[in-house]
Amino acid sequence: MFEQRLSSFLNPKHPLFQLSDSITWHSLESDLDRGFSYGLGQPPLPIRLIIGILIMSHM
């Protein structure tokens, strides 16, 4: 009833928000996901989060 899209809470002028439509996240995630093994230990952080942090560190 009171559902709102997450994008309505975010700043559309933020660099990562603007990049979100220009990056094909699904294909990037599936390509990079093949390089990681899942097993024992802590579950990995989402690849989209890691890529976003790397992009922000270079801005």
Spell out the domain ranges in the chain.
6-58
Q: Report pLDDT for 2.
A: 65
Instruction: Indicate yes or no: pTM above 0.75.
Output: no
DSSP letters of 34-58? TT---SSSSPPPPHHHHHHHHHHHT
Q: Report pLDDT for 56.
A: 82
Phi-psi region of 46 (alpha: psi -120 to 50; beta: other; left: phi over 0): beta
Gyration radius of the chain over CA positions: 14
CA 31, distance to chain mean position in Å, is: 14
Residues 1-59: pLDDT tens digits?
567 787 788 888 888 788 878 888 888 888 887 777 677 778 778 888 888 888 888 87
